[in-house]
Structure 1
Amino acid sequence: MTIRAMAAAAALSLLALPHLAMAGEKVKVKDITGREVEVNVPVERVILGEGRQIYFTGALDQDAPFKRIVGWRDDFQKADLDGYNIYLKKFPEMAKIPTFGGMKDGTFDIEQAVTLKPDVIVMNIDAKSATEESGYIEKLAKVGIPVVYVDFREKAMENTDPSMRLIGKLFGKEEKAEEFVKFHDEQIRLVTDRLASAKDLKKPVVFIERAGGYSEDCCMSFGNENFGRMVEIAGGINMAKDIIPGTFGTVNPEQIIASNPDQVIVTGANWELYVPGGAWVGVGPGADKALATKKLAKLMERPGFTDIKAVKDGNVHAIWHQFYNNPYQFVAIQQMAKWLHPQLFADLDPEKTFQELHQRFLPVDYHSGYFVSLKSGT
């Protein structure tokens, strides 16, 4: 085939895929809030409203996850130091990317953002109120910079798939986004289908503590969304669902004692830059599991925990906190299902699932350390 014929065939193949945006095409996209936004796609210059958004943008730009990123919020290193260092070792250029403060705390520098000439700014939905109140949307629109919202945190199980599809549209990686969504949904169904077919299933009551040991206060938790929803999908009963009306909130030690949960799951990460030497449980990529287990056991010595069923039976676990804010929730769901129903999910291997995710989609290698338990063999 001649070069001209090959070019003609390639053009015809693109015309046969009308859902894919042509290079430099201005399209209207609908973000997770329902806003219609005009964006030139595929975008080449992107500002991430949160540094940890690299968890999902990197799944689409696997070979060069920072090639479009011209600025990002300064949270990645502080909130996930182990993960940050793994990315930094492989992609040292990321240390030179300009950083921003947050919209919610009013430290976002709009003038700096304009000078970087982004094609789009990607914001988490939890920053929407602050963004609107400050007038950032209108100010940025005047200089031709669109803002789109995604959500992997407030209503993660509802908004993860459309958020990934939106980023796929913006990046010109729609087929890759669909491949990710398919894998994401299939892995969740491995849990939900088996639970649906199980007879006489007894659902344990689960207290999931958000960032246990991060502060001396007890205890942050989740309502009907985020990890609270994941617990329910994994075949448990979220202890705090009727106590906390929204996604995030707190419970007191007396409520934990009264509920007497069957299982306790604590979220944690390496927060040395936030709370140096804190009591938090440092699970995450490459974590010291022995140290994490020791710190988890220490947390169970606090008032409200010592005499509950979960602690007496050893059904106490720690899980990587960052599952609450990325599209890898299916790994957390599988691990929690295995903890809550060990016999039903004896053959399920969440570590293997996470390894496959890294091999197929992510720009860095897998490092174990995301989960620990006090009961041996779990």
Structure 2
Amino acid sequence: MRRLVSLNEDSLEVIRILHAQNLVVGVDNRIPGRPFFWPVLKNRQTVGKWNEPSYERIAILHPDLVLSYGNRPGLELEKKLGPLGIQVLRLDFYKMLSMPREIKTLGMLLNRERGAEIFLKWYHRKLDLIQDLIKKDPHQPRIYLESYSNYHALGPGSGGYEMGVLAGGQNIASHLSIPYPEVTPEWVLTRNPDVIIKTVSSMAAYRSGNPETLRKIRDRIIHRPGWRNIRAVKIGRVYVMESDICAGPSAIIGIAYMAKWFHPRQCSDLNPEEIHRQYLEQFQGVAYRGIYVYPNEH
């Protein structure tokens, strides 16, 4: 493979882990909006939205391979590009249980197996550390994880749900059968979670040094009708987390924060910021900076 187009930003982080940015000739239209995080790829040709790409723009670039999410865009992607001799590879990278296998797959395809092996060794070392710590706590807190859309939980099948499980939480949406079920304020209130985490996607976390935006989001959650009676609100365990650390290979950072919030005594020495620093500097080749969670308590 010599020429790649990526419609999956998580795949770009994997490509950077594999030292294969030179193969990327096209990206979706989110990448130029994050020039600080993507200094090498910010000027690559854009091919439209990640879920609604321009097939004409893709064809002009003559890629060997297009990387996309598992279910978006739809099958039209293969129908349009297949006759042109362009291969489509669907890898999510945001689901924790399948991500290691997907990284190995891309590493093999790009002849970068060694890079994949080095990263996965680091990743599993961090994950094993977290698992060893949370096993010391017999209590699993009841957690409500909310997706980017208000009152949409992170349920079974979502990457965020898997993160919560790996961090030792008991998700109040575990009995629901879809990844992002819509719920009501009353539904959350009656289930009375011990911890609430709201995920957001500002696309500005890396360049921002100001927690004010996240603080305002947290305040709005706390002041939702009736929610002052929820245990998580009463005891101050309401958190906001940026998408930068709750999807893709960087989700190990989000898992570390969750573990620390769910099991503060057992994980008192766990340092998510240091894990984040290592990830950015060793595997992404960019400096550590930005605000990703609020409040950030140790």
Aligned counterpart in structure 2 of residue 355 of structure 1, from 277, 280, 283 = 277
The aligned residue for residue 167 of structure 2 is: 234
Aligned counterpart in structure 2 of residue 97 of structure 1, from 18, 27, 45 = 45
Q: Secondary structure at the match of 1:317?
A: strand
What's the CA shift string for 1:332-362, capped at 9, x where partnerless?
Answer: 1111010111110011001001111122111
Greater displacement, 337-346 / 139-148: 139-148
What's the CA shift string for 1:243-302, capped at 9, x where partnerless?
Answer: x3122222111111101111111112326xxxxxxxxxx755534124422431233101
Q: Does 1:85 align with 2:35?
A: yes
The aligned residue for residue 116 of structure 1 is: 61
The aligned residue for residue 176 of structure 1 is: 115
Q: Secondary structure at the match of 1:125?
A: coil
How far did 1:230 drift? 1.2
Aligned counterpart in structure 1 of residue 151 of structure 2, from 198, 216, 219 = 219
How far did 1:173 drift? 1.2
Aligned counterpart in structure 1 of residue 12 of structure 2, from 54, 57, 71 = 54
Q: Secondary structure at the match of 1:193?
A: helix
Q: Does 1:148 align with 2:77?
A: no
Aligned counterpart in structure 2 of residue 336 of structure 1, from 250, 254, 258 = 258
| AA partner of residue 240 (structure 1) | A
| AA partner of residue 123 (structure 1) | S
Instruction: Return the alpha-carbon distance in structure 2 between the equivalents of residues 322 and 248 of structure 1.
Output: 19
Q: What is the total number of aligned residue pairs between the two structures?
A: 297
The aligned residue for residue 16 of structure 1 is: none
How far did 1:166 drift? 1.7
Instruction: Return the alpha-carbon distance in structure 2 between the equivalents of residues 318 and 283 of structure 1.
Output: 12
C-alpha RMSD over aligned residues: 2.2
Identical-pair percentage: 23
Query: Structure 2: where are the runs of 5+ without partners?
Result: none
**TM-score, normalised on structure 2?**
0.91
Query: Segments of 4+ in structure 1 off by > 6 A?
Result: none
Query: Structure 1: where are the runs of 5+ without partners?
Result: 1-42, 272-281
Instruction: Return the alpha-carbon distance in structure 2 between the equivalents of residues 109 and 147 of structure 1.
Output: 15
Structure (1 or 2) with the larger CA radius of gyration = 1
Q: Secondary structure at the match of 2:96?
A: helix
Q: Does 1:264 align with 2:264?
A: no
Instruction: Return the alpha-carbon distance in structure 1 between the equivalents of residues 297 and 5 of structure 2.
Output: 43
**TM-score, normalised on structure 1?**
0.73
